[in-house]
Amino acid sequence: MSERNIPENVKNVLVIMTDQHRVDTIGCLGNEHAQTPNLDRMGEEGFAFTNCFTPTAICTPARASLITGKIPLKHQVVANPEWNIAYQCDFKEGEWTYTQELRDHGYNVGIVGKYHVGNILPDAYGMDDDSFFGAINPVANERYVQWLKDNNLPPVKAHDFWQGKLPGDRPGHVIAARLEQPEEATFERFIADTAIERLKQYAKDWKENGKPFSLDVHFFGPHLPYFLPDKWFDLIDPNVVEIPANFGDTLEGKPQVQSNYATYWSTSSFSNEQWKKLIAIYWGYVAMIDFEIGRIMDAAKELGVLDDTAVFFTADHGEFTGSHRMNDKGPAMYDDIYNVPFIAHIPGVSKVGRCDKFVSLLDLPATVMDIAGLDTSLVEDGRSIVDLTRGEDVPDWREDIVCEFHGHHFPLQQRMLRTHDFKLVVSHEGINELYDLRYDPYEMTNVYNAPAYRDIRADLSKNLYYQLMERGDETFAKWMNAMTDYDVPLGGTSKSDWDDVSDDDGE
């Protein structure tokens, strides 16, 4: 058991997660045009981490890391099941999860909304299950359809579809549309209502029986496509939106797959003015979810559990929304999709402030275990951030962060080392990337082959190599011998029955 230096009454946990959510869409994190009063309040009363990174910018493996506390390579669920690319879809039998650990120690544990971790239901991992399958809002779900009927709300219809064009003037992906529903009928409202009902149940058990709870509320948005009622579709004036600074990235000197992905998402088929509107719609989606988050927080206050509950807000990964001429997320390791919002408020512990230390979604399960007074060492690849939220200097905290990618529409192996000043990305297909974030914060210019960066490149490659070896990523570390100019010590990775064979006569 860990030493618990947290007020005795603070045992409950509320984790609110969004999907595909850029950091720069939230007011308290720097967007002056965002309309996110509830997240802003959370940030103004809590502790925000500006350098939180997802272990991988793909929904399922990131969420799998969240409940196991393991990097994707270890839990091995490394791709979305509906885009399966010959990887396993579910945890192996006996996989440890912090949710089951909490359940085993007397917690009510629940999940409402998006789960998206394979095909095995959350109750197999200790959670009361109010989750829904799918990558995007499952508006045909029977529970949602019945909820609409029970509340005399209209069924889902939409118009004004925003759709790109593929080469040959073929129709591309639908990115946005207007819902012909009032805001009371959205799937986001359904998730919030369901969460409030579950919260009422848990609050009653806490008040009457002292049974603590851990509740995750996972919204499907603002993952595209952005289907919104008029109120939210038109909330943000496109004239206040600035085109992303890296929108004009030529992608020259970068892996070809990035240019292919820009084509796949029909980025060039929209004008700049249309892109401003699409980004405004995306911000409107964030605002709509913020409103529902406010309803959940108000319910927690009315139920009298806020002072006893640690609240966390984060996202599984970010979204391009035109950055680097791409949409969605995918085969590139830019901050647009790897840097995620992370706000923490632990009553009686957290100071109000900001922290630029590197933290990860992997740290969240360790933090919840810490709040519960359980053994945080069970979380293999994460550390508790409780002391960081006090504003304390935690010894030996990470000075950089490593992320991984295994593919989305197709297998693609990439590894990233991110420091405060530089980013190195090594790819199995041969074009590596190096960005000097001091002068190029939007990651426009790949300086990997620039002679002036040779020593920096070598130092970063060496650092990444040894961290990959420590993480158990030996196969990719060995690959780096061919893919970088760093002289990888192959003796550290070569393992075969021939290793002990000598060329002498044995005397």
Q: pLDDT for 403-438, tens place per residue? A: 999 988 888 999 999 999 999 999 988 799 999 999
The answer to the question of residue 406 being in a domain is no
Cα-based torsion angle of the residue sequence 448, 454, 459, 461 in order, rounded to the nearest 10 degrees: 40
Burial of 289 (0-12, 13-18, 19+ CB in 10 A): buried
β-sheet with 158-166: strand ranges across: 158-166, 170-179, 226-228
Query: What are the residue ranges of helices labelled H in 234-322?
Result: 256-264, 272-302
Q: Which of 369, 400, 431 is the last residue of a domain?
A: 400
Grade residue 168 by pLDDT with cuts at 50, 70 and 90.
Answer: confident
For 28-43, the pLDDT digits (tens) are 999 999 999 999 999 9
Asked whether residue 137 carries a pLDDT value surpassing 70, the answer given is: yes
Contacts of 385 (CB under 8 A, 6+ apart): 49, 344, 359, 363, 364, 366, 367
Q: Kindly state whether residues 364 and 485 are assigned to the same domain.
A: no
Q: Which of 344, 368, 400 is the last residue of a domain?
A: 400
The answer to the question of residue 7 being in a domain is no
Angle 179-183-187 from CA coordinates, rounded to 5°: 75
Asked whether residue 370 carries a pLDDT value surpassing 50, the answer given is: yes
What pLDDT sits at residue 1? 43
The answer to the question of residue 443 being in a domain is yes
Number of compact structural domains in the chain = 2
Amino acid identity for residue 404 in this structure:
E
Range of the domain at 221: 12-400
Q: Kindly state whether residues 466 and 339 are assigned to the same domain.
A: no
Q: What is the mean pLDDT of residues 46-50?
A: 96
Q: What is the mean pLDDT of residues 54-81?
A: 94
Q: Kindly state whether residues 357 and 457 are assigned to the same domain.
A: no
What pLDDT sits at residue 89? 83
Rg (CA), the chain: 23
Q: Kindly state whether residues 441 and 306 are assigned to the same domain.
A: no
For residues 380 and 377, what is the distance between their CA atoms, to the nearest angstrom?
Answer: 6
Query: Is the distance from CB of 79 to CB of 421 less than 8 angstroms?
Result: no
The answer to the question of residue 1 being in a domain is no
Q: Kindly state whether residues 318 and 463 are assigned to the same domain.
A: no
Residue 108 CA: distances (Å) to CA of 12, 116, 138, 253, 365: 9, 21, 26, 52, 16
* Encoded tokens for 325: 């001429």
For residues 340 and 57, what is the distance between their CA atoms, to the nearest angstrom?
Answer: 10
Contacts of 20 (CB under 8 A, 6+ apart): 59, 221, 222, 223, 224, 315, 316, 317, 318, 319, 328, 329
The answer to the question of residue 409 being in a domain is no
Q: Which of 365, 400, 435 is the last residue of a domain?
A: 400
Residue of higher predicted confidence among 480 and 364? 364
The count of other CB atoms within 10 Å of the CB of residue 204 is: 13
Residue of higher predicted confidence among 42 and 83? 42
The answer to the question of residue 415 being in a domain is no
Amino acid identity for residue 304 in this structure:
G
Grade residue 297 by pLDDT with cuts at 50, 70 and 90.
Answer: very high
The answer to the question of residue 466 being in a domain is yes
Angle 170-175-167 from CA coordinates, rounded to 5°: 20
* Encoded tokens for 305: 């559990």
Amino acid identity for residue 439 in this structure:
Y
Asked whether residue 443 carries a pLDDT value surpassing 60, the answer given is: yes
Query: Is the distance from CB of 360 to CB of 54 less than 8 angstroms?
Result: yes
Q: Which residues of 212-234 are buried (b: 16+ CB within 10 A; e: fewer)?
A: bbbbbbbbbbbbbbbbbbeebbe
Amino acid identity for residue 454 in this structure:
R
Q: Kindly state whether residues 454 and 396 are assigned to the same domain.
A: no
Q: Kindly state whether residues 128 and 238 are assigned to the same domain.
A: yes
462 CA to centre of own chain? 27
Q: Kindly state whether residues 450 and 332 are assigned to the same domain.
A: no
The answer to the question of residue 507 being in a domain is no
For residue 349, what is the domain's CATH number? 3.40.720.10
What pLDDT sits at residue 497? 60
Residue 44 CA: distances (Å) to CA of 154, 166, 200, 351: 37, 44, 26, 10
Q: What is the mean pLDDT of residues 329-346?
A: 97
How many CA atoms are closer than 13 Å to the CA of 428, on its beta-carbon side? 15
What pTM was computed for the model?
0.94
Query: Is the distance from CB of 179 to CB of 281 less than 8 angstroms?
Result: no
For 485-506, the pLDDT digits (tens) are 666 665 555 555 666 666 666 5
Which long-range contacts link 22-30 to residues 24+ away (Cβ below 8 Å)? Answer: 22/282, 22/318, 22/319, 22/321, 22/336, 23/50, 23/318, 23/339, 23/340, 23/341, 25/222, 25/282, 25/283, 25/286, 26/286, 26/341, 28/343, 29/341
| Residue with tokens 């420091």, as numbered in its chain | 419
What pLDDT sits at residue 410? 86
What pLDDT sits at residue 494? 53
Q: Kindly state whether residues 462 and 318 are assigned to the same domain.
A: no
Q: Kindly state whether residues 154 and 86 are assigned to the same domain.
A: yes
* Encoded tokens for 432: 């590596």
Q: Kindly state whether residues 465 and 364 are assigned to the same domain.
A: no
For residues 420 and 431, what is the distance between their CA atoms, to the nearest angstrom?
Answer: 22
What pLDDT sits at residue 499? 62
Q: Kindly state whether residues 366 and 491 are assigned to the same domain.
A: no
Q: What is the mean pLDDT of residues 116-131?
A: 89
The count of other CB atoms within 10 Å of the CB of residue 430 is: 10
